[in-house]
């Protein structure tokens, strides 16, 4: 092995160096392309309307219109919509995290006839096209008078999410058996075991689950668009639909500024919670 | 002493007759403990069982019922038409065109994004400086919510102020109406490719599971990088790639991105969506919200649902000989 290894100044060594250079260049170019759309969004948000109409495209704003970001707040009730998004996302993420942990505990630590079949359905339901079930669900919610309330998110939250149930199941299944045996001897019920022993152990999964569910809801466009009236709707819907000038033309620059402000919190949350996010994703993708 | 079922792994070699051997003592503690466990399981599973029944099965059943009617959400004079909606659907060229567009979109966007994700994963799996940074930056677009992505691409491909046309005219080409027919479909595919970081991260986790010895053995045998990739990396990643294909197809068929790229967004602007982005899902939305034909739209939904089931089944069937499940007895615990 060592005898055949590369000599310091052999052509193979030079080739490796060229390869690295090509690799770095490729990565820098690709990364640039990937960041491009978002960069352009920021630039668009900094331009004046006249500049957006200019004939050869102005790559950089001649004057950076920072006040666009302030105006984007003012022309619509940006903070009000953000608050709606925050409320809905927090309600859903809290409930769905707790309910999924609860259900995941059952699938990980308990047995019963029919469990295997149910688990199969649970896994299969992850692949159910959600948009297909959403439309009739909307019709039912409309009939029950739950349109324009936050009840749909409460119900969705309480009913747990298969993907998160799976995350919790994987985590709980890996904990040692002695954990609940000692508690059973102490006469602790399963609910108590879950609440007092398992849940406090699962902080990494709890936070990952909360972050994932929160970003889902923050990013969801179609459910609030269908279920909520314009005033009570979320930031996603407001950013998409309400930036129209009094003349009826879209205010492109303000909308771009607003969507930057809408997206950045999610990017920040991701950067902070990166590890749990990615770990959760890979678990679900592989198993 | 606890139940034999729970403690049996701990007591060395479990005798096969262990459960039958002690019926006396088991009658007192055993069954009651097991039934307690069974009941507890259903207590824990109940949120999902109830939620799944009420918020997934019931709506689907409701849609199935609606699909046999002419219900429109307002008029009380609806009636049962049996398979009438399904018969109409079979003869509706708009439906078939929309289905064809959705199929083509899946057929192009799913393989492209998987290849892109895989290539990115291989690139950032190399020992590089700042590879963590590259990974994060490449993954970042996948975190951007659909609304953000839609607005970003609308601006990027705007006829007048977009960077895409800016670049084209800079190099002396004519500007293109990217967001109109027939180019809107390319923009739609690009929004999917933009989120390829998703597949990159999942493939990366798979790549890191590929045993190092395999690559070393291949290198000693003198295999080229491409050969190693094709004969070792891809087969070992095939379960991941299969999963990505299935979820990718399902996601692409139900995407609402055409709605977000439309000149007038939202369910009010369904008619402003260019023909080339008028996919099956958009057709469903248009029938529901622009035309209020709940019955017909529900039939469309059920057909799509069945088609997705069939497509998923076919993907699994055709890949069953190709996908390689690395069953490592030690990894199984």
Residues of chain B contacting residue A46, judged by C-beta atoms under 8 Å apart = none
CATH number assigned to the domain covering A76-242: 1.10.3720.10
Quote the pLDDT of residue B322: 72
pLDDT in tens, A62-89: 888 898 899 888 888 999 999 999 999 9
Distance from the Cα of A37 to chain B's closest Cα (Å) equals 6
B31 touches chain A (CB under 8 A): no
ipTM of the complex: 0.87
Distance CA B216, CA B211 (A): 9
Structural domain boundaries of chain A? 76-242
* A60 burial level (CB within 10 Å; 0-12, 13-18, 19+): exposed
CB contact under 8 A, A132 and B304: yes
Please check the confidence at residue B23 and state whether its pLDDT lies above 70. no
CB contact under 8 A, B140 and A35: yes
Return residues 230-259 of A near B (CB < 8 Å).
Answer: 236-237, 239-241, 252, 255-256, 259
Q: Name the more confident of B1 and A95.
A: A95
Distance CA B292, CA B276 (A): 23
Dihedral of CA atoms B49, B55, B58, B61 in degrees, nearest 10, equals: -120
**B82 φ/ψ sector (left φ>0, alpha ψ -120 to 50, else beta):** left
Which of A27, A37, A121 faces B153 most closely, judged by CB atoms?
A: A37
State the average pLDDT for chain B.
83
State the average pLDDT for chain A.
86
Which of A139, A159, A220 faces B47 most closely, judged by CB atoms?
A: A159
CB atoms within 10 A of CB A83: 13
Nearest C-alpha in A relative to B57: A133
The length of chain B is 333
What is the reported pTM?
0.85
pLDDT in tens, B251-291: 999 899 999 998 887 777 788 889 889 999 999 999 988 88
Q: Which of A136-140, A205-209, B25-29 has the lowest mean pLDDT?
A: B25-29
Quote the pLDDT of residue B10: 40
Which of A99, A121, A263 faces B145 most closely, judged by CB atoms?
A: A263
Choose among B123, B111, B269: nearest CA to B192. B111
Average of pLDDT values for A240-248?
Answer: 77
A23 touches chain B (CB under 8 A): yes
Percent of chain B with pLDDT over 70: 88
pLDDT in tens, A36-68: 999 999 999 999 888 888 778 888 888 888 988
Contacts (Cβ under 8 Å, ≥6 apart) of B79: B69, B70
Domains observed in chain B: 84-319 (1.10.3720.10)
Q: How many helices (H) and strands (E) does chain A have?
A: 15, 0
Supply angle C-alpha B79, B80, B82, rounded to 5.
Answer: 155
A12 touches chain B (CB under 8 A): no
Helix segments in A110-219, DSSP class H:
115-125, 130-143, 151-158, 162-173, 178-185, 190-192, 199-201, 203-219
Q: Are B147 and A221 within 8 A, CB to CB?
A: yes
A contact test, residue of B9, B36, B41 with most A CBs within 10 A: B41
A contact test, residue of B43, B62, B141, B161 with most A CBs within 10 A: B161
pLDDT in tens, B111-166: 999 999 999 998 888 888 888 889 999 999 999 999 999 999 999 998 888 888 88
CB contact under 8 A, B141 and A37: yes
CB contact under 8 A, A282 and B140: no
Please check the confidence at residue B173 and state whether its pLDDT lies above 80. yes
Average of pLDDT values for B95-105?
Answer: 93
CB contact under 8 A, B56 and A106: no
Quote the pLDDT of residue A285: 43
A-B CB pairs within 8 A amount to 275
Quote the pLDDT of residue B147: 94
CB contact under 8 A, A127 and B250: yes
For residue B182, cis peptide bond before it (omega within 30 degrees of 0): yes
Nearest C-alpha in B relative to A155: B51
């Amino acid at each position: 092995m060592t005898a055949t290894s590369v000599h310091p100044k052999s052509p193979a060594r030079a080739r490796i160096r060229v390869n690295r250079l090509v690799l770095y260049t490729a990565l820098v170019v690709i990364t640039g392309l990937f960041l491009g759309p978002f960069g352009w969004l920021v630039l668009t948000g900094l331009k004046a309307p006249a500049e957006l109409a200019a004939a050869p495209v102005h790559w950089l704003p001649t004057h950076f219109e920072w006040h666009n970001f302030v105006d984007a707040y003012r022309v619509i009730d940006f903070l009000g919509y953000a608050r709606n998004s925050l409320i809905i996302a927090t309600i859903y993420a809290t409930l769905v995290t707790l309910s999924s942990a609860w259900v995941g505990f059952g699938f990980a630590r308990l047995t019963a006839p029919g469990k295997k079949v149910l688990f199969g359905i649970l896994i299969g339901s992850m692949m159910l096209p959600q948009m297909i079930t959403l439309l009739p669900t909307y019709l039912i919610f409309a009939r029950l008078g739950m349109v324009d309330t936050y009840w749909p998110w409460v119900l969705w939250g309480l009913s747990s999410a298969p993907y998160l149930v799976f995350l919790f199941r994987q985590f709980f299944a890996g904990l040692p058996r002695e954990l609940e045996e000692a508690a059973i001897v102490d006469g602790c019920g399963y609910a108590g075991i879950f609440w007092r022993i398992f849940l406090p152990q699962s902080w990494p999964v709890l936070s990952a689950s909360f972050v994932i569910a929160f970003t889902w809801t923050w990013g969801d466009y179609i459910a609030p668009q269908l279920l909520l009236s314009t005033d009570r709707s979320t930031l996603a819907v407001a950013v998409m639909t309400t930036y129209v000038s009094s003349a009826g033309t879209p205010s492109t620059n303000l909308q771009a500024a607003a969507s930057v402000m809408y997206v950045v919190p999610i990017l920040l949350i991701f950067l902070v919670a990166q590890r749990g996010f990615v770990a959760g994703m890979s678990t679900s993708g592989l198993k | 002493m606890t139940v034999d079922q729970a403690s049996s792994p701990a007591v060395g070699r479990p005798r096969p007759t262990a459960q039958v051997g002690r019926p006396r003592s088991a009658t007192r503690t055993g069954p009651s403990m097991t039934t307690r466990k069974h009941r507890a399981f259903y207590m824990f599973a109940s949120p999902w069982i109830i939620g799944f029944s009420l918020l997934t099965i019931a709506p689907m059943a409701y849609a199935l019922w609606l699909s046999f009617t002419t219900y429109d959400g307002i008029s009380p004079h609806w009636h049962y038409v049996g398979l009438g909606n399904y018969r109409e659907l079979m003869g509706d060229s708009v439906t078939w065109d929309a289905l064809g567009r959705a199929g083509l979109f899946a057929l192009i966007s799913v393989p492209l994004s998987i290849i892109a994700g895989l290539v990115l994963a291989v690139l950032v799996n190399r020992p590089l400086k700042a590879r963590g940074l590259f990974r994060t930056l490449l993954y970042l677009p996948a975190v951007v919510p659909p609304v953000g992505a839609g607005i970003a691409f609308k601006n990027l491909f705007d006829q007048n102020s977009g960077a895409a046309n800016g670049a084209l005219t800079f190099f002396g080409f004519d500007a293109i109406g990217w967001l109109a027919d027939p180019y809107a479909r390319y923009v739609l595919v690009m929004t999917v490719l933009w989120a390829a970081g998703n597949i990159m991260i999942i493939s990366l986790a798979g790549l890191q599971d590929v045993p190092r010895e395999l690559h070393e053995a291949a290198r000693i045998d003198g295999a080229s990088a491409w050969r190693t990739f094709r004969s070792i990396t891809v087969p070992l990643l095939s379960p991941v790639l299969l999963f990505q294909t299935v979820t990718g197809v399902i996601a692409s068929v139900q995407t609402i991105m055409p709605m977000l790229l439309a000149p007038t967004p939202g369910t009010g602007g369904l008619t402003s969506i260019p023909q080339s982005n008028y996919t099956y899902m958009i057709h469903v939305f248009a029938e529901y919200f622009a035309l209020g034909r709940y019955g017909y739209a529900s039939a469309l939904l059920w057909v799509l649902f069945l088609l997705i089931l069939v497509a998923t089944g076919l993907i699994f069937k055709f890949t069953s000989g190709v996908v390689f499940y690395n069953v490592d007895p030690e990894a199984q615990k």
